[in-house]
Amino acid sequence: QVQLQESGPGLVKPSQTLSLTCTVSGGSISSGGYYWTWIRQPAGKGLEWIGRIYISGNTKYNRSLESRVTTSVDTSKNQFSLNLSSVTAADTAVYYCARAAVELGHGAFDIWGQGTMVTVSS
């Protein structure tokens, strides 16, 4: 079965860029029908959608973050990535990568990574 695993630094300095990678195993990221997605959750708080990328390269981002967010896909490595620039303490959160199945509708994140904690601090 398809599994997702996030990786990246657990500590990022303020004003720097947060970079995370999600490795897809058990299936090909190149298969259509899925949006590859990033979602975050500050400690003790709710979920916030960051953005998504389709295999075609088409992207869509949360409007509150879109000036700082970029995502990309590397089919050769079966990975997709997130870059969030100019981070502040408010970006401290658990970051999840997730798969959104188009056939289930916009908002159906059917597979999630385990999440990775990122702290923004000097």
With respect to another protein, which residue has the nearer C-beta, 75 or 101? 101
| 47 sits near another protein (criterion: CB under 8 A) | yes
| 46 sits near another protein (criterion: CB under 8 A) | yes
> Residue 52: exposed, middle, or buried by beta-carbon count in 10 A (0-12, 13-18, 19+)?
buried
The single residue listed with the structure tokens 């999840």 is: 96
Give the Cα separation of 79 and 76 in Å (integer). 8
Q: Give the footprint of another protein on residues 54-113 (CB under 8 A).
A: 60-63, 96, 104-110, 112-113
| 115 sits near another protein (criterion: CB under 8 A) | yes
Element (H, E) at 99: strand 93-101
Give the Cα separation of 14 and 89 in Å (integer). 7
Stretch near another protein under the rule CB under 8 A, chosen from 13-21, 23-31, 39-47, 75-83: 39-47
Number of residues that bind another protein (CB under 8 A): 22
Give the Cα separation of 105 and 84 in Å (integer). 26
Question: Please, what is the minimum distance in Å from the beta carbon of residue 40 to another protein?
Answer: 11
Contact with another protein (CB under 8 A): which of 8, 21, 49, 70? 49
Both structure tokens of 82: 């997130």
Query: Interface with another protein by CB under 8 A: which residues?
Result: 45-49, 51, 60-63, 96, 104-110, 112-115
